[in-house]
């Protein structure tokens, strides 16, 4: 089918509370076919089962995903990279961290690494676009030199220090001008930046509807679909009170939208839970570009830190329901997940072998 359903590993349960293998099995059981693998999940699995050996952990997860017919969409997030003022740190990321990620990604069977816009403090980053573009070109060129080559997907976080808007990220992608460097379009980060303001009483920017309309019009007009590597579709919760220093989600020193994102994302069309972003309108603009490919549900929420296997099952179910509704509203053909797996619960959290297909 043209658009395939994926979910971020972090969006099924918090690492250290919920087992990565169990989350993968539950994802497969609900018909997901792709996984955005968060390094924190892999890291915890490595530390808890392989004495911190990430290579062994990656081999184990790769084998499990093959058994479950799950594709690793990307390894992420390669954070705090571009535009650093400390150039020795930039060099260290390229010479130490990146080669390790290449090895892990290759084992996991993915050719893509996700790079979120830098949200390090302003005194640690530069707004010089030439520096930012140059850093990302170095990343892309190193990826292109590998066998097989790697792709990078850049995403504007709504709280990014220098890059917080999708069009800023897209201009940078165009300036990088590498075939293996593209963009991830995310309904939450787009609408959460131009439409929503969790720090205001009404939860919206001053000219929310107008700003969103202008942003989506521009997106339809300028985006080359070949530069869109995948998209993410989730919503955000309308808070009962502004997220200020008195709010329970407030973390000193962190941007308001980051605190909101970490605690209060929702799956699309969960208005009964407080969802209020214009997800259908935003997602429709993404697909109006002609995009076909991975549609991932990347959700962060305080609910992911709750204990119990039911947490993983419930988030998988809620995500699937949001996908069905998105498919209905946007008219996706053949988008209903058609493969389910029988999972043996008697094997425990780390067990649960696939018995067959239904």
The pLDDT tens digits for 242-301 are 999 999 999 999 999 999 999 999 999 999 999 999 999 999 999 999 999 999 999 999
pLDDT (tens digit per residue) in 24-43: 999 999 999 999 999 999 99
pLDDT given for residue 286 in this prediction: 98
Site of tokens 């131009």: 194
Report residue 275: phi and psi, to 5°: -65, 135
pLDDT (tens digit per residue) in 295-323: 999 999 999 999 999 999 999 999 999 99
Q: What is the mean pLDDT of the chain?
A: 93
Q: Are 143 and 113 in contact (CB under 8 A)?
A: yes
pLDDT given for residue 324 in this prediction: 97
Average pLDDT over residues 110-125: 98
Q: Considering the chain, what percentage of its residues have pLDDT values greater than 70?
A: 92
pLDDT given for residue 2 in this prediction: 81
Average pLDDT over residues 48-74: 98
Domains of the chain: 4-332 (3.20.20.150)
Q: Give the Cα separation of 307 and 13 in Å (integer).
A: 9
Q: Are 153 and 184 in contact (CB under 8 A)?
A: yes
Site of tokens 């955005």: 36
pLDDT given for residue 337 in this prediction: 58
Average pLDDT over residues 118-123: 97
Give me the half-sphere count of Cα atoms (radius 13 Å) on the Cβ side of residue 85.
10
pLDDT given for residue 87 in this prediction: 97
pLDDT given for residue 334 in this prediction: 56
pLDDT (tens digit per residue) in 198-254: 999 999 999 999 999 999 999 999 999 999 999 999 999 999 999 999 999 999 999
Cα separation of the two ends of the chain: 19
- Burial degree of 357 (CB within 10 A; 0-12, 13-18, 19+): exposed
Task: State yes or no: pLDDT of 345 exceeds 90.
Answer: no
Task: State yes or no: pLDDT of 348 exceeds 80.
Answer: no
Pairing of β 354-357 and β 341-343: antiparallel
pLDDT (tens digit per residue) in 168-198: 999 999 999 999 999 999 999 999 999 999 9
Other Cβ atoms closer than 10 A to 194: 24
pTM as predicted: 0.92
Task: State yes or no: pLDDT of 98 exceeds 60.
Answer: yes
- Number of H-type helices and E-type strands within the chain: 12, 12
């Amino acid at each position: 089918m043209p658009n395939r359903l994926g979910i971020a590993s972090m969006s099924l349960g918090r690492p250290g509370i919920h087992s990565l293998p169990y989350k993968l099995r539950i994802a497969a059981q609900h018909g997901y076919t792709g996984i955005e693998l968060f390094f924190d999940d892999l890291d915890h699995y490595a530390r808890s089962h392989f004495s911190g050996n990430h290579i062994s952990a990656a081999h184990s997860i790769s084998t499990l995903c093959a058994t479950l017919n799950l594709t690793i969409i990307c390894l992420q997030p390669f954070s705090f990279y571009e535009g650093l003022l400390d150039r020795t740190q930039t060099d260290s990321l390229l010479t130490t961290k990146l080669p390790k990620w290449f090895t892990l990604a290759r084992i996991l069977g993915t050719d893509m690494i996700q790079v979120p816009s830098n949200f390090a403090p302003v005194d640690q980053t530069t707004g010089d676009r030439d520096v930012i573009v140059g850093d990302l070109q170095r990343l892309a060129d190193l990826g292109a030199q590998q066998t097989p080559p790697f792709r990078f997907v850049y995403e504007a976080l709504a709280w990014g220090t220098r890059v917080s808007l999708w069009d800023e990220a897209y201009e940078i992608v165009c300036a990088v001008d590498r075939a293996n460097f593209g963009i991830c379009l995310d309904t939450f980060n787009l609408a959460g930046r131009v439409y929503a303001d969790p720090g205001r009483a009404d939860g919206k920017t001053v000219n929310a509807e107008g700003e969103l309309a202008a942003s989506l019009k521009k997106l339809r007009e300028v985006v080359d679909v070949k530069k869109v590597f995948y998209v993410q579709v989730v919503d955000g919760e309308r808070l009962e009170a502004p997220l200020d220093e008195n709010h329970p989600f407030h973390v000193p020193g962190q941007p308001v939208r980051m605190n909101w994102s970490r605690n209060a994302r929702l799956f699309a069309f969960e208005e009964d839970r407080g969802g209020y972003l214009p997800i259908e309108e935003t997602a429709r603009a993404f697909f109006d570009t002609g995009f076909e490919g991975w549609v991932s549900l990347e959700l962060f929420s305080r609910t992911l830190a709750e204990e119990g296997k039911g947490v993983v099952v419930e988030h998988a179910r809620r995500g699937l329901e949001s996908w069905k509704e998105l498919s209905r509203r946007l008219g996706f053909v053949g988008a209903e997940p058609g493969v389910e797996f029988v999972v043996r619960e008697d094997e425990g959290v780390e067990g649960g072998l696939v018995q067959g297909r239904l």
